């Protein structure tokens, strides 16, 4: 989210669009280290930590966006159909930021587990590793809902908004 305190008030008074904007990055888990964020490969500079709330940590950072009008266009934000706000997904592999690739890698890893390690998969389904089953089922449910939309948007080059009739988001 944009950091209202750190940005110049002139940016909101019909002045030329600023080419850098201060934002706040909220880590609700409280476990992401600042060097990990700095090495994510995003066009972000001037990291500093803001005094936190007890269960999360907040970082202030400057996003440079000379080619874009808005800071959110310069970052690979993921817009979930489940929430109104966007999210930055930390790349688990080097600087791989694309949600579709990460999701497909997770699905491929699960398929290998199920096919080539059935004993381990049975332990996840109802054995001593069943604490992981809720995470797997939740991830599969999210992937089933979001991946088709992500691929359709990538193919058409247009934003797709899909909501249930009568939804507050539609």
Domain spans, the chain: 1-75, 85-170
CA dist 25 and 21 (Å) reads 13
Range list of β-strands (E), the chain? 20-27, 44-50, 57-64, 77-79, 86-88
Query: What parts of the chain have a pLDDT lower than 70?
Result: 1-17, 52, 80-85, 91-97, 167, 169-170
Q: Which residue has the tokens 């949600």?
A: 99
- Between the alpha carbon of residue 83 and those of residues 65, 80, 86, 130, 169, the distances in Å are 25, 6, 8, 28, 9
Token pair listed for 148: 């088709």
CA dist 20 and 22 (Å) reads 7
pTM of the model: 0.53
Burial of 71 (0-12, 13-18, 19+ CB in 10 A): buried
What is the structure's pLDDT at 93? 58
- Residue 84: CB partners within 8 Å, gap ≥ 6? 169
The string of pLDDT tens digits covering residues 19-41 is 788 888 888 888 888 888 887 77
What is the structure's pLDDT at 12? 52
């Amino acid at each position: 989210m944009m950091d209202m305190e750190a940005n110049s008030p002139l940016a909101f008074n019909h002045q030329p669009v600023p080419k850098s904007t201060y934002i706040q990055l909220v880590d609700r888990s409280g476990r992401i280290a600042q060097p990990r964020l700095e090495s994510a490969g995003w066009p972000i500079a001037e990291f500093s930590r803001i005094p936190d709330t007890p269960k999360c940590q907040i970082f202030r950072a400057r996003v440079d966006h000379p080619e874009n009008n808005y800071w959110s266009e310069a970052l690979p934000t993921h817009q979930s159909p489940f929430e109104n706000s966007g999210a930055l997904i930390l790349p688990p592999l080097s600087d791989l930021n694309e949600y579709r690739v990460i999701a497909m890698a997770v699905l491929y890893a699960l398929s290998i587990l199920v096919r080539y390690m059935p004993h381990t998969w049975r332990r996840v389904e109802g054995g001593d590793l069943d604490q992981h089953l809720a995470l797997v089922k939740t991830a599969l449910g999210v992937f089933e809902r979001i991946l088709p939309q992500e691929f359709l948007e990538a193919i058409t080059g247009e934003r797709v908004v899909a909501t249930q009739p009568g939804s507050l988001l539609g």
